[in-house]
Amino acid sequence: MLIEIAKGDFTAALRQYKKTVPFPGIISRICDQPCQDVCKRAEAGDAIAIRNLERACVDIGESSSEKSRPLPKRGGKIAVIGGGVSGLTAAYDLARKGYAVTIIEADSRLGGSLWKVDRDFLPAKTIEDDVNAVIKLGVVIRLNTPINQELHDLRRDFNAIYVAIGAHTVERFDLDQDEYGFVKVDAVTFATSMDGVFAGGGLRWGKEMHSAITSISEGRRAAISIDRYLQKVSLTASRINEGTYPSCLYTNMQGIEPHPVIDANDHQQGYEWNEAIQEAKRCLQCECMECVKACEYLKQFERYPKRYVREIYNNLSIVKGTRHANTFINSCSLCGLCGEICPEHLDMASVNLTARREMVEQNRMPPSAFDFALRDMQFSNSDKFELARNRPGTDMSDTVFFPGCQLSASSPDHVESVYAYLNNHLTDSRVGLMLGCCGAPANWAGQSALFESTLAAWRTQLQAMGNPKVILPCSSCYQVFKNHMPGVEIVSLWEIYDQCGLPAFAGTVEPANCAIAIHDPCTTRYETSIQDSVRRIVQRMGYQIEELPLSRERTECCSYGGLMWLSNRELAHKVIQRRVAASQADYVTYCAMCRDFFASHGKRALHLLDLIYNRDTPGVSEIPGASAQTTDERAARRGPGYSQRHENRARLKRKLLKTIWGEEMDGAQAYESIRLIIADEVRVKLEQRLILTEDIQRVIEYAERTGRRLLNQGTGHTLAYFKPTSVTYWVEYLRQADGFAIYNAYSHRMEVPGSGQLS
């Protein structure tokens, strides 16, 4: 309502006001403003002058001639005894629900104690207008009718009774009373000792006009009880937050300038329109937007979390029609920052993850949303990369190193270094190795069945190795193991470095950049011990740590979480940009994806292993495991593209198998031997379009084998299409002596004839 007034739209404000109160004319004049006691504005100026604003609505706003909607008809006759504010409210609400209501009033007019209010303040016309609104609803009015019979007898003519006589009567009827002689009434339902008889208003409190707003509230709540009573449903179920209740709403008052209340020029007449606008503008619109301020995702969709939750719920129940919330649900990084910030711990991560699972369950998940990441996971858990070996010469493992899919893709050299380190430092432990993807992408994509089967495969594998303790550098893997594989013992690699010491050559030069900012991956949000270990390691190597404004339990996601980077790439860019702008210092992090995403936006960023396995010290480059690049070079390097990530994983497996276990990998597929010649600008395009080298190789292999291709008579280029799984890829190429030159590639998901046999 105040938003509309602030905009100067009094008619819209009045419409809003009428939705919340039954008698706008009366209430806007006699409202005793109980809400002023809790108004946050009072902390910076004065509480909002709500009654004056209500009155301005009624006086200035144009009352749209209420369309007389046909009322529903419900069986049930209700007597309301007493035509005061409380009784009128109950009668109004019940009549609008379709019940036949009769008001029985001892006096010669309706309104009760309203008539005792100063006429200048509350003109007779205002009372009459509002009371007429009740009569217009078809409520039967019996004036000058004191109750001369017992309620028991009256009950015979009515299905329910609301006793709302004021405190001025001594009449207590045949109802149970408390020790002070007041009628005993249930505090929630307003039920009395007699079945079907409810009571409220002054009678209950024993004093006159204790508060008009309370009387209205009681009349309204009694009407709810009567309706439920007549519908034969529970009177008490889910009735919290009726009447007044302390709000959980949190409003940050920081930076809010104090402004005093606007005084009406003419107190008698109330606010002029411009005064009302000024006053309404003082309203803070107490919506707690703390999470929205901290989250680019919530900000982007421009709404308030509670509204989001409702929209997600609606989205899931759409049977036919467009599901507008799909993109919203699938764009969340599931990082949990909102839940951490929210004073009420409303966490969009669990809401969105549940929604994704539900969508998959209903077979309504857009295939394009997460498909690419799921195929990446499938690659990692295929023969190309998946591997599990005990240390040579052993048939069991006490510990097993599980580097995860992305560190192996970004920095395969580090995986080798770490495995060597573990074997050297954990001397009393047989250290095995496991390569693959933990299953996190399937979990994020809502693919519960795929996630479960992936976990089951790892469980079986670990059992076969003698249930070793799993050493994890990646915190996403860490969360998967921790939360979904109970019984499997895990330890973070960073805790091992912290406890067992760093390699001798780590951090031995004086760092060029003294201060370095630590970015905690969002999957370590509540892993204080890991965060502490990382800080000790960085300090031990001689760096000064700069803490980012949002770190540790308030850290931000790099956009990899929840697969946001894939499902909403535009938003992901904004998220990364925001994060890299938090400090000028170089970042050090301990998640390969965080590092690569920051670097992709020009931010100098290092993986913690880049610091440990540097080659800055002269002579260190000869030490096995030391990187080929200096720390400075590594901070500036761009991460590998999607095709290269596959390639790096496959090569890592091949190399480790050969160097550590002396095994050769089995033969490759026919398409893998196809040599491609790709110019840089084409490569950029492929990367942007999520087209992998292997996709192109498959198309060419198919086209060259079957002869199914198009020829451009102008350029002599070949164009072919093929659908290996769910996406059809088109490749324009030219066969050359030393391979195939690639000119263009694009893809679509719609199925067209002739796209190959595989599916």
C-alpha 144/C-alpha 159 separation (Å) is 22
Nearer to another protein, 109 or 364 (CB): 364
Closer residue to another protein, CB minimum distance, 222 or 332: 332
CA dihedral 477, 478, 481, 483 (to 10 degrees): -120
Select 303 or 364, whichever has its Cβ closest to another protein.
364
100 forms beta bridges with 77
With respect to another protein, which residue has the nearer C-beta, 4 or 371? 371
Residue labelled with tokens 């490759």: 668
Degrees to nearest 5, angle at CA 489 with 483 and 493: 90
State which residue, 71 or 711, has the beta carbon closest to another protein.
711
Query: Which of 600, 744 has the CB closer to another protein?
Result: 744
| E-state strands within 74-126 | 77-81, 100-104
The least distance separating another protein from the CB of residue 326, rounded to whole angstroms, comes to 5
C-beta of 161: minimal distance to another protein in Å? 52
- Reported as type and span, the H/E element at residue 689 is none
Nearer to another protein, 328 or 481 (CB): 328
Convert 674-710 to b/e letters by CB count within 10 Å (16 or more is b).
Answer: bebebeeebbebbeeebbbbbbbbbbbbbbbeeeebe
- Report CA 698 to chain centroid distance, whole Å: 39
Which of 737/750 has CB closer to another protein? 750
The CA distance from 378 to 295, in Å, is 31
Min CB(575)–another protein separation in Å:
22
Q: How many CB atoms lie within 10 A of CB 87?
A: 30
- CB-wise, 142 or 324, nearer to another protein? 324
Q: Minimum distance between the CB of residue 754 and another protein, rounded to whole angstroms?
A: 5
DSSP assignments along 445-510, one per residue: TT-HHHHHHHHHHHHHHHHHTTSPEEEES-HHHHHHHHHH-TT--EEEHHHHHHHH---TTTT-SP
Q: Determine the residue type at 259.
A: H
**Smallest gap from residue 560 Cβ to another protein (A):** 23
CB of 696 to another protein, least distance (A): 15
Smallest distance from another protein to CB 729, Å: 10
> CA–CA separation, 172 vs 184, rounded Å?
10
Nearer Cβ to another protein (10/721): 721
Quick one: tokens of 115?
């008539």
Task: Give the number of other CB atoms < 10 A from CB of residue 424.
Answer: 12
Nearer to another protein, 228 or 708 (CB): 708
| DSSP-based three-state secondary structure for 716 | coil
Closest contact distance (angstroms) between CB of 726 and another protein is 10
**DSSP states of 243-289:** SS---------TTPPPBPPPPPSBTTTB--HHHHHHHHHT-------
User: Which of residues 491 and 719 has its CB atom nearest to another protein in the complex?
Assistant: 719
3-state secondary structure of 607: strand
Query: 458 or 721: whose CB is closer to another protein?
Result: 721
| C-alpha angle 98-103-106 in degrees, rounded to nearest 5 | 180
Paired with 565 in beta bridges are none
Tell me whether residue 321 is exposed, middle or buried, using C-beta atoms within 10 angstroms of its C-beta: 0 to 12, 13 to 18, 19 or more.
Answer: exposed
Cβ of residue 130: shortest distance to another protein, in angstroms? 47
Task: State the distance between the two ends of the chain, measured CA to CA, in whole angstroms.
Answer: 57
Rounded Cα gap, residues 215 and 190, in angstroms? 12
Separation between Cα atoms, residue 217 and residue 207, nearest integer Å? 16
DSSP calls for 538-592? HHHTTPEEEE-SS-GGGPPP-S-GGGHHHH-HHHHHHHHHHHHTT-SSEEEES-H
- Smallest distance, another protein to C-beta of residue 470, A: 37
* Smallest separation (angstroms) from another protein to the CB of 719: 6
Kindly tell me which of 238 and 322 has the beta carbon lying closer to another protein. 322
| Token code pair at residue 101 | 């209501």
3-class secondary-structure state, position 426 = coil
C-beta atoms surrounding 644 within 10 Å: 17
Shortest Cβ 707–another protein spacing (Å):
5
* Residue whose CB is less far from another protein, 119 or 749: 749
Shortest reach from residue 717's CB to another protein, in Å: 9
- The nearest distance, CB 331 to another protein, in angstroms, is 13
Contact set with another protein (CB under 8 A): 321-324, 326-327, 366-369, 707-714, 718-719, 721, 730, 744, 746-754
How far is the C-alpha of 646 from the C-alpha of 651, rounded, in Å?
9
Place of tokens 């994890």: 472
Residues forming a β-bridge with 433:
389, 401
Q: Among candidates 23, 256, 219, which has minimal Cα distance to 133?
A: 23
Least distance in angstroms from the C-beta of 728 to another protein: 8
* R_g of the chain, CA atoms, integer Å: 36
